[in-house]
Amino acid sequence: MKMKDLNSKLLTFLIISSLFFLSCNNNDTVAITDPISADELITLIEADDVTDNVSNLIDDYFAFDQGVAAKSEENNPQFLSCMISTIVIEGSTAIVTLDFGDGCELPNGNVISGQIILNYALDVTVHSLTISYTYNNFYFNDLSVEGGSEIVRVRENDNGNPQSTATFDIKVTWPEGEFATRVGTKTREWIEGFDTRDWGDNVYLITGNWNTTFKDASICTATIIEPLRREVVCLYIVSGIVEISKNEHTGTIDFGDGTCDNIAVFTNELGEESEITLRGRLK
């Protein structure tokens, strides 16, 4: 009788466990696993913030200063007063170091430090430009960032807007020792602000997909199913939907209706909704 009660309790536990979204498990073990927490979802979003903000900087650098490298080895005009850019010409290649020193605050309140090193051909007349870059002792707020990316920029897409497609492979490490690696592709259409020198009025629509591998070797796959709207003056994505998959489970993160706030809504595969409060590390 006791064994029957024990089996009944175990069965109930297994049924409840199977309803959790985004459970982590090894492929060679049974699927009795823990659900993904709100903090883990926030970790995914914070890692996105790194790639988005860096892409914003590189887009602006080339929008404002492209062509200067072909003419001069002197420091070029700055669009961020706390950044120093240095150009070295080697044949037909420009190597640009964007140096943010010990701390450079962006218009949206994020603080970056260290260096981003860009490498690209000097032919500024071409419709598209391929840029590779790496990080050197780079920090986004208190997150350490390693690795790099390759970006293909076009002056005008089919909508007449600048567009960049980044293929990235980076590692983000949090102060407490947690880390995540990300491999994937993002396409960013620059829909507002590209015709001004005001960094803060830039607006982008972002599509793409990527994989995130956590410290425990579990993997999340993210696919943007409704373009993300990134307004540079806001710390948070203001709208758009990302589908998250882990093992056999799926769910979505909805960033809202365009309002700049720190709220997103997570919906699991059962249709159950929960509110996520995003972290703004400096505000």
Cβ atoms of 175 and 281 closer than 8 Å: no
Q: Of 36-40, 114-118, 273-277, which one has max mean pLDDT?
A: 114-118
**Residue of 30, 42, 12 lying closest to 247 (CA atoms):** 30
What per-residue confidence (pLDDT) applies to 74? 44
Burial code (b: 16+ CB inside 10 Å, e: under 16) for 195-229 equals eeeebeebbbbbbbebebebeeebebebbbeebbb
Strand partners for 122: none
* Vertex 234 angle, CA 152 and 196, to 5°: 55
Q: How deeply is 164 buried, as exposed, middle or buried, from its count of CB atoms within 10 A (0-12, 13-18, 19+)? A: buried
What per-residue confidence (pLDDT) applies to 125? 67
- Reported as a single tens digit per residue, the pLDDT across 37-91 is 666 777 788 888 888 888 878 877 877 655 444 334 444 444 678 999 899 999 8
**Lowest mean pLDDT segment, chosen from 96-105, 190-199, 215-224, 254-263:** 190-199
What per-residue confidence (pLDDT) applies to 73? 40
pLDDT confidence bin for 8, thresholds 50/70/90: very low
Which ranges in the chain belong to alpha helices (H)?
2-18, 38-65
- Give CA–CA dist 109/134, Å, rounded: 23
Phi, psi of 106 (to 5 degrees): -85, 165
> Computed over its alpha carbons, how large is the radius of gyration of the chain?
21
- Give CA–CA dist 212/46, Å, rounded: 12
What per-residue confidence (pLDDT) applies to 247? 80
**Residue of 186, 152, 180, 144 lying closest to 168 (CA atoms):** 186
- Give CA–CA dist 251/9, Å, rounded: 28
Its pTM surpasses 0.85 = no
